[in-house]
Structure 1
Amino acid sequence: MEFAISINNINSTVCAKPFVKWAGGKGQLLDTFRQYYPSTLIKGYIRRYIEPFVGGGAVLFEILQKYKVEEAFIFDINEDLINTYVVIKNDVHNLVEYLSDLECKYLNLDEKSRKDMYYDIRDAYNSRALKNNQPDVERAAQFIFLNRTCFNGLYRVNRAGHFNVPSGDYKNPTICDEKNLYAVSSLLQRVHIFVGDYRECAGYVDKDSFVYFDPPYRPLNVTSSFTSYSKFDFTDEDQIQLAKFFSEMNDTGALLMLSNSDPKNENPDDNFFDELYKEFFIHRIKAKRAINSNGSRRGLISELLVTNYEVKD
């Protein structure tokens, strides 16, 4: 596989970052995560990075730019998200043209006309689906446009798979972040991109791999139960099956790290994850999250990081 950029040229001048806002994005935790990455990654011995729930890709872009990883494998069950990754990798020029046109039209409209444009594009986006897994530039542009202009940058779909987030209220949103899209495209030349369930990564995991799992979090309570990254729910049973898969991947000799919510924020006696991952190393880190709609309950809370390797202080 030919790389678009040399590993030797990866430095601070390459500043690719997530091209979409994503629920549970890890951008705020990257400084903390560096304390928990395996030492072999930091020393440059890990050649393959795998992310079975890629989402917005904050950790992916961090690792590709800071460490000497030769190739990465990413997966997500969200077909439109993966389509957008593929389009950015293979057809970023046309994508930038589409987004530039949308941005120009949108920013020149008054508030009411902006909302009309938003709902017209949302209707068009929902009226057709991806076909035969072929990259779709127009749909990728619509996906990014909706993400940049919808309420709170949410991605939410109903049971029919239709995007149903209302319009946001932004004065000057960046719809076409051209420099970042080109930087992301360069990094993605080293990335194998797949749509599918996390289990599909199994064939690529070996002893020279570092795998980071970032599944939909287990809700801390009813008000925080936003897991609809796709039309498929992620239940407690799914969490249990993921823990079994984590254990299976441990047997390959790969280095593994997994994030999830810490139920002890709400119930100190809830040992759900402590029991599931009792054979591994469980770390509690601080993150800025809203536990519920009560403003007094917002701020730093505990989240879990599970590793199959010891982390030295």
Structure 2
Amino acid sequence: MNYLSHRFSVAPMMDWTDRHCRAFHRGLTKRALLYTEMVTADAVIHGDRERLLGFSGEEHPIALQLGGSDPAKLANAARIGADLGYDEINLNVGCPSDRVQEGRFGACLMAEPELVAACVEAMSESQPVPVTVKCRIGIDDQDAEADLQRFIDVVAETGCRTFVVHARKAWLKGLSPKENREVPPLDYQRVYRLKARRPELTIVINGGIETIAEAQTHLDHVDGVMLGRAAYQNPYILADVDRAIFGEPTSAPTRDEALSQMLPYANRHLAKGGRLSNITRHVLGLYHGQPRGRVFRRILSERGSQASATADVLSDAIALAEQGITRQVRPDAA
């Protein structure tokens, strides 16, 4: 059974939350909702679906995030995603990159709530799984709270009941995507007020949240919390999600248990012709802040990047990190 809940989720992140990253995160938390990277509707329709959309059954619950602004194409892509078994289809209305703007999707669509509503309605009518929206609190000169309220009201008229709100504005001109994640000030209170005004909606807050303790504080005001970079760069914080956020009685996996669970997955990936580095790049932060974290990262970076690397590299990294052995490991070591 898939426990689809928005109480805690890991954000869709370009170049990061691919299937290997998600498989690793699932070993740390069984309940968090995981998201794909954003995939454009055109790519879903015309691209290599196994490469772009493939996932393992263990990744559930999992949501597919789509990018686009053509209702018919998005409806087609949503239907494909549902047929593949995704638990949710999410529409990206928050990405501020120039490339996304040129394609007329992402954050620039906050200026066109009626178009977003048409997209969401078409996606919902094309397939049976829930359609959700991820947006910002505004763009450019949309400082009035009424702009966010109107956007939510118009889109919610389609029956959409879940909105993930990044609590920063996006400046479409003058700031890079990286700067848009850091420079515009966070305004959590605006998201809280949105939830108070529309209590029947599921409102998930995103942006600048770095710890489980912070997430618990936000849950006093909204229905869910989404973590992005903090969950990727310090993934072991996910190990406490099931207990602290969902009240599960199970104990958190240790770091070595979480990584040992990836060994069979890594062997299957290698048997299909994949490279170990496809996996190891996502686990570098597992020992973040730990005394043996540096040797762990060095082994994976130096040995895991070799074309001939096997899952033994992961085993060695686990052993050295857990035992505290800090001897220099040659890049060409077997």
**What TM-score comes out, normalization by structure 1 length?**
0.31
Tell me which of the two structures has the higher relative contact order, counting C-alpha pairs closer than 8 angstroms and 6 or more residues apart.
Answer: 1
**What TM-score comes out, normalization by structure 2 length?**
0.30
